[in-house]
Structure 1
């Protein structure tokens, strides 16, 4: 394999891994760690291994999405988003399956090291989190690949999965790994983080609503229709910001923590564009804007909590 071929091969895998989605995968881990730091229970090992595991799971989900959309026919000539590696012939289906298996193995090993470093010989905790990890692996693969040929992402259930794994489970799970306890107040920012992550998915689904409906990919946006999907989007943003405001008042958080509300401006600007435009390239930019705002929300709130 010559240098140019190797370079193109690497670029194809980077395309399939969709590295631009990784900041969103890190948002829940950073927020959970920030919540723990606010209670003087932060552990660097938990943050590092949690980030590695979350990134591996996100890459696995992206590879599975690339493979699943190609093999199901959901990727066609009218696709608006970035090109897919399998459907464009850059990576063979067999190679993608191998890549998925290796990435899943990496995620499992990283997760196991995380649990051993966190819980030692507390096997009850380890077994519980292994089950949660197995559920995360299964969710990452079956979003578009499915079980028995029935991907849950094609039945309008992707929003629920994103809310759970990027919000409640991601944030509260990380928080518990640091603190070994749960309380009700962290539920508020955890739910807010999940709602913002779901809003990112909704921008993607509204952008692709016509092509998804044509190829039988029945996302929640397809079920709702464009007008109702946009109302749903505003509801996601409004609820997330309301839950955050309640949390900031209840704790209370230092002024720097309140800066997380600054993301309301780019989030609402992106939502206005989503309401007004049907241009695929413009909506792709709004997708990135919403994802970056979600990460910034977690970072700013986490910094504020660390100083609390």
Structure 2
């Protein structure tokens, strides 16, 4: 496989959805470093952050290659290639790349994710996290892989909420602090809503070819009009949850967590930029320019994490 094909297969535009949960959890954990289960060590903290980030990124890339492989050999991507309304990313297997090469790329990235995960396990002693990692690997493969992929049965959206929202945020937070807090769950829910919103936009774009291939996503089951409303509700919920802490409604001391006026203003600007991206995504959603909606929505996840990073200092 050529380097250009490999980069296409990585789906770089989707990576903010994997990076943001780790960054958000790291910021929240750093803010609560005085309450960590073990004495705070700067070196240990950042080694674990990098390990968690590598797990998230390599596992997401592995899933992207695995999805390309499975949809390619199943024939779903060939239907998308013939659908003028489906202007998705370049598909490798459907585009002529040998399926074995794509599968090997998925396996290589999954291996790197496992190595990074083992580093975190060894440093923390939380051996039960291996079981969590195995569940994540299984979820990545059986999303569209195997004889009965759950992504074809309407469970893909739930999986994305769990594995791009709750699991990476809560997993990273526990690795870093040895405890979980309501703020971690809150951030995981926000990022989960954003990730599901991106998936719904993707599935709205591919609605016709997915239905023809027998892939029953929420958008296929609901139909385009209702699907756009549901997606809009998800993004609207994310916007509301992002704004509430600034009103001192959910977390009465949130605005006091900033170390200085400068960091407060930086966090406020990040929040405004995040909301701007989500509003742009909503506008693009209803204009049915789904690729643009997905891009801005993915960026909003990073901006939300950046807001929390500013709050940690």
So what's the TM-score if we normalise by structure 1? 0.88
Q: 1:14 aligns with which of 1, 7, 20?
A: 7
Deviation at 1:260, TM superposition (A): 4.3
CA distance in 1, matches of 2:244, 2:176: 24
Q: Note if 1:164 corresponds to 2:162.
A: yes
**How is 1:44-123 mapped onto 2 (pairs within 5 angstroms)?**
44-75=46-77, 76=79, 77-78=82-83, 79-89=86-96, 91-117=97-123, 119=124, 122=125
CA distance in 2, matches of 1:155, 1:302: 37
CA distance in 2, matches of 1:21, 1:273: 17
Q: 1:37 aligns with which of 27, 30, 35?
A: 30
Aligned counterpart, 1:225? 223
Deviation at 1:196, TM superposition (A): 0.9
Q: 2:293 aligns with which of 286, 299, 302?
A: 286
Where 1:186 maps in the other structure, the secondary structure is: helix
Deviation at 1:60, TM superposition (A): 0.5
Aligned counterpart, 2:39? none
Q: Note if 1:264 corresponds to 2:275.
A: yes
CA deviation profile, 1:75-104 (whole Å, cap 9, x unmatched): 122242022111110x21122222222222
Residue pair 1:259, 1:301 contacting (<8 A) in 2 also:
no
**How is 1:187-202 mapped onto 2 (pairs within 5 angstroms)?**
187-202=185-200
Task: Assess, with a 3 A threshold, how the Cα gap between structure 1 residues 185 and 94 changes in structure 2: closer, same or farther.
Answer: closer
CA distance in 2, matches of 1:82, 1:96: 15
Task: Assess, with a 3 A threshold, how the Cα gap between structure 1 residues 186 and 100 changes in structure 2: closer, same or farther.
Answer: closer
Aligned counterpart, 2:150? 152
Where 1:185 maps in the other structure, the secondary structure is: helix
What 5-or-longer segments of structure 1 have no aligned partner?
Answer: 1-7
Deviation at 1:223, TM superposition (A): 1.0
Residue pair 1:65, 1:145 contacting (<8 A) in 2 also:
yes
CA distance in 2, matches of 1:302, 1:156: 35
CA distance in 2, matches of 1:238, 1:20: 22
Aligned counterpart, 2:183? 185
CA RMSD of aligned residues (A): 1.7
CA distance in 1, matches of 2:170, 2:270: 19
Work out the number of aligned pairs and report it: 286
Aligned counterpart, 2:261? none
Residue pair 1:142, 1:151 contacting (<8 A) in 2 also:
yes
- The runs of at least 4 consecutive aligned structure 1 residues that moved more than 4 Å come to none
So what's the TM-score if we normalise by structure 2? 0.86
CA distance in 1, matches of 2:87, 2:231: 20
Deviation at 1:257, TM superposition (A): 3.4
